[in-house]
Structure 1
Amino acid sequence: MAGLSLRCGDCGAHLKSVEEAQEHAELTLHTNFSESTEAVLNLVCTVCGKPCRTKIESDLHTKRTGHSDFVDKTMEEAKSLELNASEMVVPEIDKKLLEELESMGFPTARATRALHFSVLNLPLTWVADHENDEDIDEMPLVPAKTNAEVAKRSLTPEEAKIKAQELRERARKKKEEEERRMEREREKERIRIGKELLEAKRIEEENERKRMLALRQAEKDEEKRAREKIRQKLEEDKAERRRKLGLPPEEPGTSKPSAPPMRERKSALPIKPATKTEHMRDCLRSLKQAHKDDDAKVKRAFQTLLTYVGNVAKNPDEEKFRRIRMTNATFQDRVGCMTGGIEFLEVCGFEKVEGDEFLTLPKQKVDMAVINSAGAELTSAINNPFFGVL
């Protein structure tokens, strides 16, 4: 049976004619072609008119578009090719190149097949790739009409060189465009992964926040139950003492008689004023109670105050440790915005100066006893989990 198509040995594509093989070679730089008795299919979609060359291509078209009706026009083209092949002749080739190959020792039939089937005038490469073909030494035959068209389109060595350069340039540009497209795809993938990681982190932080709230509520409930047990224990002890004294049990609805009003007595002794240590403790307790829902922020404020006090205790002569800029963002975030933070420093001896822009501890007012007491109170507040609860 006469050849119905050409097969590309590099990618396996089926091509209808030599013209299609040359176009395929220009686009892909493939040069390994051979005759095939397998006809190229021509399945035409009845909905959109798209032609499909193979069953796989028609299946992909159906999957993408949903079009499943095709008309098989393969035999029509096969009959057309057979009619055109009724008059078979030896293809016209470059006589000069044929003489050169014959002078190298190649048989005329082999040289003719190489010059006819090789793309971009690379006969030696074609011979090397097809030297084991069964029909390598048979003279090729092509339809007379096709032979005339191929003869018209044959290229000189100079034209072939220019054409090859153009094809390489087109292949290079195509490769660059493909690399840019792949880079855009990779960038989209990186952005997608980044968004997924941020969302996962947000969900994890939200779950951690809910867990901490549940843990804090459980601690409050446990503390409430403990107080209720203590109250019940006190009531039982009270009832036991009344029983031992022979007194009747106290009725639940009985209210305790109010104590008679005490006459106010003026003490001859002066009332002892609150010490600085007690004032410091009150400042820290106010800070803890004002921000009881944010233990981490409270602990950070205590740590910052302890750092300020510790620097003064270690370096009382260094002015930089006795001077705090109140407008500093870090100071405001950790101490300045916290209730009782600045008051605590003022109890330690710091004073507002220069329009309340700085807190300064004058060297002559440094009282190491007060500074040491401040450090002790801060350490106790940090380490005692029940500080400021009651």
Structure 2
Amino acid sequence: MAGVSLKCGDCGALLKSVEEAQEHAELTSHSNFSESTEPVLNLLCTVCSKPCRSKTESDLHTKRTGHTEFVDKTSEATKPISLEVPKVGATAEEAVTATTNQDEEMVVPEVDKKVLEELESMGFSTARATRALHYSGNSGLEAAVTWIVEHENDPDIDQLPLVPANTKVEAPKPSLTPEELRVKQQELRERARKKKEEEEKRTEREREKERIRIGKELLEAKRIEEENERKRILALRKAEKEEERRAREKIKQKLEEDKAERRRRLGLPPEEPSVAKPAPVVEEKKSFLPIRPATKAEQMRECLRSLKQNHKEDDARVKRAFQTLLTYVGNVARNPDEEKFRKIRLTNQSFQERVGALTGGIKFLEICGFDKIDGGEFLFLPRNKVDMAVLNSAGSELDSAIKNPFFGVL
């Protein structure tokens, strides 16, 4: 079978003529060509009649235009290849004619003349405008301009398109009148507006769902935090109760040991368990136990606990009262010789707001050694009654009450 194409031995490209082989060699520097019996494909698009010479080219055309139907006319256009080199000096028109005659006659496709004139008035060349109208399927001015924008970097953008002369070209679609064009544009704008409104509504719904989800997560996190805090407080109360129980047991054991020691010193025999606990009522047994008077520290602690319990609805005010009392006690402890720190006017407005108006505030100072003088107008701590141990104990109790968040709660 005679050769119908030239094949590049370096890249495998099929070429229709010697001229195409020369152009390919100039572009790629390939020089290994041979005749081939494999024809160059001639796939015609059934929509716009664009010829495609390979499957890759037809796929690219489909991607750009959406046209998917092609007619294979390879067998009709295949002819033995001529190995004669075109004459030097031949015009481009003669070269195109010679190449075209090898396949079949090619002509410029018909396009909508009115739209063509509009494109030319916009500054586009005749070749570019004709090419855009042809490959956009004569769909109108807007489609042609869009095609030009998308293909402005094509190397053949300013070449007239050619189609086989015997190809039936669909009659160009009539262009819209100005009034129809305005109506069409209004419809497109209205459609775009509705689409934008729907998109905004959808976005707003998504945002609302996200806000609801975040709100639920925050509420759940807050509930878990409150539950953990409640468990922590219960555990702390349980630990304090256990500590109190152990302290009572130690005191009871100490009392029993002291009692046994006293009997030993008096020369009495150890008390028998059956004798030590006859059958008296619990109240009668308690009456024989020695009652230890409360220490100053215990009195202060109870006074502060009572102050907080009486004003538990205003925690900030209670804390401020504790800090004020700590300031009074600290000033006296640091400057025991300064009378101004050992004398407090009860009618002072600042003192009344911070300490005097709270139940237990003045009592705490009295436990520290302050006495009322001048008909109850002043609280005064005489220098000879300044007890540093009592003041240090008062400072410790106040510091514990301020720093312990559960002070007075149990």
Q: From the CA coordinates, give the structure whose radius of gyration is larger.
A: 2
TM-score range, shorter chain: 0.3 to 0.5
